[in-house]
């Protein structure tokens, strides 16, 4: 066990108090902490806890914060340190601006933006709902009204908002109001959240241009809504494509195949429409 015992015990305590921890996870964590508090061997208790969590961890069925804890106690190099959210809470610099997009699962919305020159930060989170500090479980359950989204902080000398919106259209299905690809439900609906009137005008015009382009057989239904509080997601979700490269590649491939097939269908539809004319 490379990790400091005091740090692990602190993590146990925090997870017991964490409202997102499931009851059965909490019961295992409580048993481990009680054992340590009562003088049981620390390494034995943590090894037992790891073995109990392992079957669910292998199937990605632990809650995000417990997943981070599991990675830590197994010395997984993907555990890393907590994602630095300082830039999210800081005031934007003289050449910085923000854009917020929802386009299905946020795991697949980070890498396409973050790997572009001039993108300063991409943060996964929740927005558009009616509850403060929502958890992944609450948002996924549809209890809070939030959608999964990404907050993009960009260098205005390299990017402008219009270019970001154009990239966003390439990553999503703008004809699906009830989710994206295999991700179904209100928390996955596509939304462009605008911070001011300038962003709204750009987004509305871009949406109109897409609708009149004839690229899609069905109406463009992506919503354009005022930006509200953006709540950063749990550490596990940040930069998912780096922490879970194999799983991310499968998700990215599946998403890409769907969008490619959709574009082929739309091209065929366009050609058929022209012939009928």
Domain assignment of residue 153, yes or no:
yes
- Residues 207 and 241: their CA atoms lie apart, in Å, by 28
- Residue 70, classified by CB atoms within 10 Å of its CB into exposed (0-12), middle (13-18) or buried (19+), is buried
Q: Tell which residue, 87, 67, 70, 18, has the closest CA to residue 240.
A: 67
pLDDT of residue 58: 81
d(CA 150, CA 105): 10
Within a domain: 262: no
Please identify, among 49, 73, 97, the residue that sits at the C-terminal boundary of a domain: 73
Residue 63 lies in a domain: yes
Q: Is 105 a catalytic residue?
A: yes
pTM comes to 0.81
Q: How many structural domains is the chain composed of?
A: 2
Q: Is 21 exposed, middle or buried (0-12, 13-18, 19+ CB in 10 A)?
A: buried
Using CA atoms, how far apart are residues 217 and 175, in angstroms rounded to an integer?
Answer: 9
Q: Quick one: 14 and 139 in the same domain? A: no
170 shares its domain with 100: yes
So what's the pLDDT on residue 267? 79
Question: Do 95 and 217 reside in the same domain of the chain?
Answer: yes
Residue in 15, 105, 120, 150 annotated catalytic: 105
List the chain residues with pLDDT less than 70.
1-3, 77-82, 270, 272-277
Q: Let me know whether 33 and 167 are in one domain.
A: no
Give the CATH number of the domain where residue 194 resides.
Answer: 3.30.1060.10
**What is the number of other CB atoms lying within 10 angstroms of the CB of residue 234?**
21
Per-residue pLDDT tens over the stretch 120-131: 999 999 999 999
Give me the domain span that covers residue 54. Answer: 5-73
The answer to whether residue 259 is domain-embedded is: no
DSSP state of 110: S
Q: Tokens standing for 214?
A: 């004839």
* Model pLDDT, residue 1: 43
Taking only the tens place, the pLDDT of each residue in 202-236 is 999 999 999 999 888 899 999 999 999 999 999 88
């Amino acid at each position: 066990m490379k990790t400091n015992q005091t740090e692990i015990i602190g993590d146990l305590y925090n997870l017991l108090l964490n409202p997102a921890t499931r009851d059965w996870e909490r019961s295992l964590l409580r048993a481990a902490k009680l054992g340590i508090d009562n003088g049981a061997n620390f390494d034995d208790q943590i090894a037992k806890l790891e073995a109990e969590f392992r079957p669910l961890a292998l199937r990605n069925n632990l809650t995000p914060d417990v997943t981070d804890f599991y990675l830590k106690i197994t010395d997984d190099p993907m555990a890393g340190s907590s994602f630095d959210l300082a830039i999210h809470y800081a005031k934007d610099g003289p050449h910085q601006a923000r854009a917020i997009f929802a386009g299905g699962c946020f795991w697949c919305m980070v890498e396409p933006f973050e790997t572009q020159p001039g993108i300063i930060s991409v943060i996964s989170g929740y927005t558009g709902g009616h509850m403060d500090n929502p958890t992944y479980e609450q948002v996924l359950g549809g209890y809070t009204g939030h959608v999964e989204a990404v907050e993009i902080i960009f260098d205005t000398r390299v990017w402008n908002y219009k270019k970001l919106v154009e990239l966003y259209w390439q990553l999503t299905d703008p004809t699906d109001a009830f989710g994206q690809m295999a991700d179904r439900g209100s928390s996955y609906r596509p939304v462009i959240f605008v911070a001011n009137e300038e962003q709204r005008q750009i987004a509305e015009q871009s949406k109109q241009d897409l609708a009149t382009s004839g690229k899609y057989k069905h109406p463009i239904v992506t919503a354009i809504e005022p930006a509200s509080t953006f709540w950063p997601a749990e550490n596990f979700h940040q930069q998912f494509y780096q922490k879970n490269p194999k799983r991310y590649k499968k998700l990215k491939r599946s998403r890409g195949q769907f969008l490619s097939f959709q574009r082929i269908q739309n091209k065929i539809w366009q050609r058929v429409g022209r012939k009928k004319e």
